[in-house]
Structure 1
Amino acid sequence: MSAQEVEIRVIGSLAEISADEWDACACPEAIRGGRPIDPFTTHRFLKALEDSGSVGPGTGWQPQYLAAHIDGQLIAVAPLYAKSHSQGEYIFDHNWAHAYERAGGRYYPKLQIAVPFTPATGRRFLARPGFEKSGVEALIQGAMQLTENNALSSVNVTFCTAQEAEQAEALGMMSRKSQQFHWRNDGYADFDGFLQSLSSRKRKNIRKERAAANDFGGSIHVLTGDQITPEHWDAFWVFYQDTGARKWGQPYLTRAFFDEAHKVLRDDIALVLAERDGRWIAGALNFIGADALFGRYWGCTEHHSCLHFELCYYRAIDMAIDLRLGTVEAGAQGEHKLARGYLPTATWSLHWLRDPGFARAVGDYLQAERAAVDEEIEVLTDYGPFKRSQIEEQE
């Protein structure tokens, strides 16, 4: 069945698609009640962004979801947004925008297939089982055609899978390679088992950091599901605002998002909070997938030695081991994660630029950038905390 037989529709709100229909494409592995591979493309997560006003009018993220149908049956979907800026993407194209506009072009609006504000790798072209080829190809071609028909500068796909990058390249998109730091579970029985895989110096340093962190004069709580209460979100909102103001100028998510998360996402969430003298003073927000823990946000109202490392990285490793998850994705950037057991890992994005000359220039840049990323991953891995034999096994 070819992509030409597929009808592509643009949908302005997830209210127009039932959760069952969307999730049959986004997370078919969860139909029998299990966890989705990741929760970020589920109907409940994306609709929480809509319902809370975190995306939509005035945000620069206007939903334009793609839906592919064959004979009236929904076979594939993609979380597509019209963007009036490049904030909240984590794989940035600001330099491309400046160059395009200096040459007399108009870079915005552009199209973005992504999970807003979420630098976590996952499928972006979401096909119902049995339609992986026809559905994905239709979505890719439909996104490029939508860009062409509306005379937009580009369509971009961020944090897609390596398989999607290969499939989209064959259809004319350009792939971009970046890197993050991920922790990998080598079947560790407990945290001490993980420590034994490290060099002696790094092992001692982590033990020292954990001891310092847990000596802050309070207690640390790991909460999920019904253990999380509105009181906890009130505290975390304060932490999130502080971090958002320092990093982005203003928070990406609204306060209402956390209320929506409490209603529909709390079983997907692990909230790590530090309490001291009866007050919540720091917290880290994680999302739980079928085989990965995704670290998302951190903040605090009091600064204590190594508490950030404990809440964001070491407690995440503890949880992954306890839940028998294969990976912890600790979010964007941060070479400081390397010394704490998180190794550089390739991530992928896709780009199609309507102007052929500009596309050639970006393509040359991406080729040079990929060589630099490959070299950086190799060098950083060599500087990692693991014993040499352990690094070779993980490679």
Structure 2
Amino acid sequence: MPVTTLDSLHALSADTWDALLPGAQPFLRHAFHSALEDSGSVGGDSGWQPSHRLWCDDQGQVRAALPAYLKRHSYGEYVFDHAWADACRRAGIAYYPKLLGAVPFSPVAGARLLGEPRCAGAMLDELTAELEAQGLSSLHINFTSPACDALLNGRDGWLERLGCQFHWNNRGYRDFQDFLDALSSRKRKQLRKEREQVAGQGIEFDRRLGHQLSEQEWDFVYHCYANTYHVRGQAPYLTRAFFSLLAERMPEMIRLVFAQLRGRPVAMAFSLVDGDTFYGRYWGCLAEFDRLHFETCFYQGMELAIAEGLRRFDAGAQGEHKLIRGFEPVITRSWHYLCHPGLRAAVTDFLVQERSGVLSYAEEARSYLPFRHAGES
């Protein structure tokens, strides 16, 4: 069967696409990807050109899909291959364009090969066989689920790359104090002191659902989000319109925390939820306050997860500072198919060394977790 390419998800109905999803994760939904397209966050000059792949049966029914983008740079991916691209440039090898199976700007693991596994595997094989003919150097699939890993593991030509994130697990805590009681005395005092420092500055918090915000409040959310990029001299990935479109199309999955000083908002944290996970996504502030980031992004998120009975809090990429707040190291995976034999050989050697380092890093990170041991106060 030929693989069909969609340069816009609007070419497929939301019901057809969403029926392929294995669960409720918001980042895979038709509403999320179409909001990226319609807001101009992808497409145009963004370097993210929608190029979704479908596998259909003889009757034209979609049996498998890969949310995918043609990339002419490596920004916004959170699996860093800039060094590979630079090595290709110096060697006179074209690295871009490449094909990327991923959720733009979202380092969140989940399903990438959607639909029936047998059909998804056949689609993969056809995609890799046609890469060079289509002028593509490679196919990358980032932040995969265990089911995706099972399809890719051992498949000819595919290279596995490991990463490490930090996630918080809700072990049936009744409230935030119940979580604190699971920590060592010293760490418990540290977290309590951080929260007291924020409260002592007169800052209060207001939690909202996606449908409860006015457009003026969404303006504030975007201003905060964009400011986190501007202070680093960068342009934000997402446009203002994306937030309004997402609030219109999937408001039930949006959670907002506003930090307020004397009734005026000064910071915000934007998150999404599904059936069992709280996904911390975007944060921003208009003025600096001591410890406000930790409170707004982490402690408020933990309280929300506990209140809603969510099992896990995925706070995104990076951040050893999350360890002492109970976020545990989690191994993430991405997969890479590189057409050029010399590049593939070099990257294979690199990944062997990197893998050992990532696993050692994750193991060492566990020693910094704040949980008390048996018999410890």
Q: How far apart are the structure 2 equivalents of 1:329 and 1:195?
A: 19
Residue of structure 1 aligned with 2:119, choices 135, 153, 160: 135
2:194 aligned partner: 209
1:320-359 per-residue CA deviation (whole Å, 9 max, x = no partner) reads 1111111101111111111111111101101000011210
Query: Which residues of 2 match residues 50-129 of structure 1 at below 5 A?
Result: 50-71=37-58, 72-127=60-115
Equivalence for 2:147: 163
**Whole-Å Cα distance in 1 between the matches of residues 309 and 30 of structure 2?**
26
- Please identify, of 228-237 and 12-21, the stretch whose mean Cα deviation from structure 2 is larger: 228-237
Structure 1 match to 2:223: 238
Match of 2:267 among 276, 279, 282: 282
Residue 258 of structure 2, aligned match among 273, 287, 295: 273
Give the Å deviation of 1:148: 2.6
- 1:89–1:248: structure 2 CA closer, same or farther, 3 Å change rule? farther
2:13 match: 18
Kindly state the Cα deviation for residue 295 of structure 1 after the two structures are TM-superposed: 0.5
Structure 1 residue ranges without an equivalent (≥5): 1-5, 30-35, 391-395
Task: Tell me how large the CA RMSD over aligned residues is.
Answer: 1.5
TM-superposition CA deviations, 1:166-214 (whole Å, max 9, x none): 3213222111000001001111111111111111111110011111122
Q: Does 1:370 align with 2:355?
A: yes
Specify the SS of the correspondent of 1:347. strand
Q: TM-score, normalised by structure 2?
A: 0.96
Query: Is the 1:123–1:160 contact (alpha carbons within 8 Å) kept by the matching residues of 2?
Result: yes
2:245 to 226, 236, 260: 260
Aligned partners of 2:160, 2:233: CA distance in 1, in Å? Answer: 26
Distance in 1 between the 2:28 and 2:21 partners? 6
After superposing on structure 2, the runs of 4+ consecutive aligned residues of structure 1 that deviate more than 3 Å are none
| 1:247 Cα offset (Å) | 4.5
Contact kept in structure 2, 1:82 and 1:111, CA below 8 Å: yes
Change (3 A) 1:147 1:214: farther
Distance 2:123 2:373 in 1: 43
Aligned to 1:32: none
CA distance in 2, matches of 1:254, 1:143: 31
TM superposition score normalised by structure 1: 0.91
- 1:156 is paired with a residue whose SS is strand
Deviations 1:196-240 (A, max 9, x none): 111111111001111112223232111113222222211111101
The amino acid of 2:15's aligned partner reads D
Count of residues in Structure 1 that have an aligned counterpart in Structure 2: 373
Task: Tell me if 1:153 matches 2:137.
Answer: yes
What is the rounded CA distance, in whole Å, between the counterparts of 2:372 and 2:127 in structure 1?
A: 45
2:31 aligns to what?
A: 44
Q: Distance in 1 between matches of 2:187 and 2:28?
A: 36
What one-letter code is carried by the residue in structure 2 that aligns with 1:9?
T
Q: Is there any run of 5+ residues in structure 2 with no aligned partner, and where? A: none
Give aligned-pair identity as a percent: 42
- Give the SS at the match of 2:247: helix
Residues 49, 257 of structure 1: 8 Å contact kept: yes
Please state whether the residue corresponding to 2:296 is helix, strand or coil. Answer: helix
SS of 1:214's partner is helix
Aligned partner of residue 142 in structure 2, secondary structure:
strand
Q: Secondary structure at the match of 1:107?
A: coil
